[in-house]
Structure 1
């Protein structure tokens, strides 16, 4: 068994590593992954904001009018509906952007 490594085998290994590295650099999968995560968080925040705003308005009106919990329930449901509608609009916007990007390529 020789003490020195075979230079031809090392050169071949270095070439294979360089090819694998360049092939890996061509794929921007991390950018797409972060973009999708941002869109998902945006949709979650829109839904939670709708629920929170509806709950707050309903609770405030219930406190002022003394009709607890009817207005809180109604406005929480309305907030949920508004959040879902906003999520659907965001999804349609993302779909239009993706279609425009596909047509441009």
Structure 2
């Protein structure tokens, strides 16, 4: 059975390590802003490519089924592109809304503190 004093010392050590990490990082998460922007960019690219790929696959499948090779392929590829762009715009609006909420939240906090 572990010594209770050892448990207490371990808890104190963990608290000091956490305090040192918070002081070093300034209390902010380790992730920097440019990493999150790159993540958003890759998400948008993935959404566009997924829309194109799904549209291409559906169009090719229907063309193979009906024997109208270029017609459905082109039509559904364009529809997939439109769906991908629509999804990208929705993502951009979501990110913009989060940014505005964060900025507004910061202003509200300053008003509450009397700054």
| Range into which the TM-score falls when normalised by the shorter chain | 0.7 to 0.9
- Residue 69 of structure 2 is matched in structure 1 by 68
- Residue 81 of structure 1 is matched in structure 2 by 82
CA distance in 2, matches of 1:60, 1:52: 12
CA distance in 2, matches of 1:26, 1:83: 37
1:53 deviation in Å? Answer: 0.1
Larger relative contact order (C-alpha < 8 A, sep ≥ 6)?
A: 1
| Equivalent residue pairs, number | 83
Query: TM-score, with normalisation over the residues of structure 2?
Result: 0.66
CA distance in 2, matches of 1:100, 1:74: 39
Based on CA coordinates, which of the two structures has the bigger radius of gyration? 1
- RMSD over equivalenced CA pairs, Å: 2.0
Query: TM-score, with normalisation over the residues of structure 1?
Result: 0.72
